[in-house]
Amino acid sequence: MALQITDANFNQLLEAGKPMLVDFWATWCGPCKKVGPYVEELAEQYADQAIVGKVDVDENDGLAMRFGIRNIPTLLFFKDGNDVPVDKLVGAAPKSELEAKLKAIL
């Protein structure tokens, strides 16, 4: 299951130093509903290797502002505890594309 990432726990998760996939989404977003199950599957598949989580932009506007999220879904990829994303995907994408980007940071 994907972690619930919030304004409060993001930095702590990032500091763990594991590769991280973060899905910025909202309950009312149609394309987010398409990507959501892929994110959940990747969270289970890569549980030992990476942190895979979701940020509800309506509840965590601090993170959305910090990373300049203007469209959702936006998926950011972090590596080595660095708070500058190494990759980004905006909009609905197939699971294979998400997985390829995640594998690239492992």
Q: Residue 33's closest CA among 56, 67, 59?
A: 56
**CA–CA gap between residue 3 and residue 97 (Å, rounded):** 20
Catalytic residue from among 2, 21, 32, 57 = 32
Residue 29 appears among annotated catalytic residues: yes
Q: Which residues contact 72 (CB under 8 A, 6 or more apart)?
A: 24, 25, 26, 29, 31, 32, 57
Residue 36 appears among annotated catalytic residues: no
β-strand partners of 87: 77
Q: Catalytic positions, please?
A: 29, 32
